[in-house]
Amino acid sequence: MENKIFIPSQPQYWHNIDLYQELVFKATLSGGKGGQNTNKVSTKVELYWSLQDSNCISSQMKIIITDKLASKINQEGQLRLVCEEERSQLLNKELVVEKLYKLLASCFKVIKPRKPTKPSKSAIEKRLNDKKARKSVKMSRGKLD
């Protein structure tokens, strides 16, 4: 059997921990497509997750998530996500959970620093030649003596 190591920057990591039991869902009426169904059935799903009360993740992970998702966390310390893309409440619930897992995974992605590079000699030469050609075109448009 293959021994897989999951890293927090992969959504599969979040599938494997028991985070689902800490999530709170709220269904409300959704706007948009659905016809008469929109006025009768609560298909919009709101997901709430109390980050500070979570037992599934370490305190270091909580600090990282809080820093990265500060704009999505409300005053009570809850992360709130909404999904109303589908006409079915169940599909919206699955989509919002997947959205949460991807969001949490994105918090742990390491961004490689950009290494500044110089333009090559040929690129510099080409740019200067293009400027000279443009200059001559514009000079030829001037008034005649």
Write down the pTM of the prediction: 0.69
What pLDDT score does 3 carry?
52
Nearest Cα neighbor of 21 from 45, 62, 53 is 53
12-16, 20-24, 31-35, 135-139: least confidently modelled range? 31-35
Reply yes or no on whether the pLDDT at 1 is more than 50.
no
Q: State the Cα angle at 26 between 88 and 28, rounded to 5°.
A: 60
Q: What is the mean pLDDT of residues 103-130?
A: 92
DSSP 8: T
Cβ contact 43:25 at 8 Å: no
Architecture in CATH of 11-107: 2-Layer Sandwich (3.30)
Environment class of 44 (CB within 10 Å of its CB; exposed 0-12, middle 13-18, buried 19+): buried
Q: Which residue ranges make up each domain of the chain? A: 11-107
* Distance, CA of 86 to CA of 32 (rounded, Å): 10
What pLDDT score does 136 carry?
93
